[in-house]
A and B are shown apart, each in its own frame.
Chain A
Amino acid sequence: MSTPSTDTRRLFDVHRGEGAPKLASDRTPPPASTLKKWLRDMMLIREFEVRCMQAYQDKKIGGFCHVYIGQEAVAVGCVAATKPEDPLVTAYRDHGHALARGMTARACMAEMFGRIDGCAKGKGGSMHMFDKPNNMFGGHGIVGAQTPLGLGLAFATKYEDEVMQNGRNKRVTLCFLGDGALNQGALHEAMNLAGLMDIPVVFVVENNGYSMGTSIHRGTTMAHDLKSKAIGYGIDAAVVEGMDMLECYWGMKQVVDDARERSRPWFIDLRCYRYKGHSMSDPRKYRTRDEEEAWESDDPIGKLERFMLEQGVVTEAEVKDMWKDVKAEVRDCVAFADASPVPEAGELFTDVYMEPWGPYPGSSQPSFMGGAPNTPSFKAIDPKGDVL
């Protein structure tokens, strides 16, 4: 059973490869406006997830629904440590990352409701939050499958910078995964390739101690020291506190800056806790109420609120107003999603191919009754011309 640390200002525990420069250790709190933004972002995620649960129970959301309640500091803190052009990819518990990255609550809720105004036109669902302008690359359902993708995104940004020399800034990719994904082969292949090829990807393990109903100690070797897995691949690793917004931010900022500077991968054991079950149908019989209450009593949102109140950055009344505002925003996005129409039947057959063969009717056969073949956008000549 895991318990929260009582020392919220402990330094994080780092393993660095030999010869790597010491990480900078800047613990200056950001300006008030930034803190307020972060607090609101966390509140938004919390309220959004609560309404998702309600909507799911009202049958407005179908399929799977994995809520992020309790881990808000992780998403907001990690995203705060990056630049907008840094790619981000995560697994299926992706609503928090989507909102932290800048996607609108409306687009996300409509997507969950399966409506045309959703970010993926209702064709992705809860697990597939994609947003190109915000460099949000999803939202992936298969455990661990996003880790080679994250690696590939980082590879591509480095390739663009160094091989194509298009002069873009050095970019770092954040690749989130759960502690359950530690056991998937894809992750290990990805870590090996990352270490081998100097890919600037940060594998952020959102270590909440459970993969569905299996505690980490029942499923993963070296659960007490996950860093050792990364060390095995020659990757620098650190433990970062995920239930404290500022700790998370400071830790991740140093790591992301280092990864950007040296173009090297990182592995982060981000300690956090999800308050709710794995998904909506999880009765959480595998842990005790006491454990949950211990973690809930140290809510990251409350923690940041208290810090900001102490610092005089914000007043009680302002906090209350922020909550009201956030609740109104979420209520609005639910109404928006409710009002948004379902995708038309024809939408079933769009977005299968970038360049389909004629109108795509849901099978690979072209319309052959005298129809001309689809000419691709590039010049194509058949040399013999002896097509029937």
Chain B
Amino acid sequence: MSALREIEFRDALREAMTEEMRRDQRVFLLGEEVAQYNGAYKVSKGMLDEFGPRRIIDTPISESGFAGLAIGAAMQGLRPIVEFMSWSFSLVAADPILNNAPKMLYMSGGQFGCPIVFRGNDGAGGQLGSTHSWCVEGMYSNVPGLKMAIPATPDDAKALLKTAIRDDDPVFFLESERMLGMKGHVPEGEEILVPFGQARLRRAGADCTIATWGRPVHFALEAAEALAKEGIDCEVIDLRTIRPLDIGSVVRSVKKTSTCVVVDQSWSFGSPGSELAAQVHKHCFDDLDNFVHRVHTADVPAPYAYNLEQEYLPNARKICEAVRAATYNA
């Protein structure tokens, strides 16, 4: 095993893209401010110097146009990475990314795939207001034909992004502005990829399964710490990918604990959280001691005020309340 060093989430993303671009000439990056500005969030810092302006491409502000461009290029055989400065901005490109990319293989009868990666900051970013705080997995996960990955730590970020770039299907890669500066141990010097559809056990426990993904993984771990003091032992599972969904890991865990709480940072109505809860109910019907409790972001547009936003999120306190309720300790 190679050395582990601590790097930031954003560095992990950059490493993944850089390594893949060195490996395969067909991979290129485009988006707003990715080249000369070194990335709006410094994820692509230095990449222009290494790869040049033909492969690290600054685009004007035309999400619909450049997303469509990338999809056309992918149909022809290239492997673009499209950076949305925020997933909130992807809404203007909803037609190409939802109506074209995931459908291309199917409606061409298997002839034209779309090996593209869309990536960007997803979710509340810290008082960014209601139009800049979208958790697009709430809507986009509904569409078949795409894959969706949402890492929670730098090592997963790097490994999953490498998988996403090598994957021949369109991948929606959801990061978080709040996590970009997070440090974590990331192995270097080896080809490490995480296959999609494989969850990761973050904390073993016996009393309650908390299934979650993305930034809420950290809220869940925080809650698990607090609950341990009360004698409630939580098992935290980081799903890592929403499509495909590793329902197997969750089911095996729930069979052990009999209790499940799903934490999802998107709004509750018709969300991946509700999908997971429904699947758990289906597969663990005879193993549950209580219905699957869900913790979501509050069902309102994202507020600006700091305290309101903290209350808006699926924070550790709400998770504790849900776990206590689910385990009949409320």
Q: Chain A residues in contact with chain B, CB under 8 A?
A: 87, 89, 118-125, 128, 130-132, 137-140, 142, 145, 147-157, 159-160, 162-164, 185-186, 188-190, 192-193, 196-197, 350-357, 362-366, 368-369, 371, 373-376, 378-384, 386-388
Contact = CB atoms under 8 A, between A and B. Distances in A.
Contacts of B60: 192-193, 196
Given A121-B110, A130-B112, A383-B155, A186 B247 contact: no
9 contacts: A123-B106, A138-B112, A152-B76, A164-B26, A356-B244, A364-B242, A366-B197, A376-B196, A383-B155
A387 B200 contact: yes
Contacts of B245: 364-366
Contact of A350 (B110, B191, B253): B110
Contact of A190 (B26, B69, B191, B247): B69
Given A149-B75, A364-B244, A384-B200, A189 B95 contact: no
Nearest to A185: B64
Interface residues of B, number: 75
B320 interface: no
Given A192-B65, A364-B144, A366-B244, A152 B72 contact: yes
Contacts of B65: 148, 151, 186, 188-190, 192-193
B251 interface: yes
- The interface centre, meaning the residue of B76, B99, B109, B199 with most chain A CB atoms within 10 A of its CB, is B109
B329 interface: no
B198 interface: yes
A149 B100 contact: yes
B125 interface: no
B244 A123 contact: no
Contacts of B96: 145, 148-149, 186
Interface of B: 25-26, 28, 54-55, 57, 59-60, 62, 64-78, 95-96, 99-100, 105-113, 115, 144-145, 147, 155, 159, 163, 166-169, 187, 190-201, 237, 242-249, 251-253, 279, 283
B109 A119 contact: yes
B107 A128 contact: yes
B59 A160 contact: no
Contacts of B105: 351-354
B195 A376 contact: yes
A383 B187 contact: yes
A95 B28 CA distance: 34
Contacts of A353: 105, 145, 147, 169
A144 to B, nearest CB: 9
Nearest to B145: A352
A189 B64 contact: yes
Given A151-B65, A357-B244, A378-B193, A128 B108 contact: yes
A124 B112 CA distance: 12
Which residue among A132, A196, A353 has the maximum number of chain B CB atoms within 10 Å of its CB? A353
Nearest to B245: A364
B107 A155 contact: no
A176 B129 CA distance: 40
A379 B199 contact: no
Contacts of A356: 244
A163 to B, nearest CB: 5
Nearest to A382: B194
A54 to B, nearest CB: 25
A151 B109 contact: no
A324 B60 CA distance: 54
A141 to B, nearest CB: 8
A273 to B, nearest CB: 29
A354 B169 contact: yes
B201 A386 contact: yes
Contacts of A362: 144
Contacts of A374: 195, 197
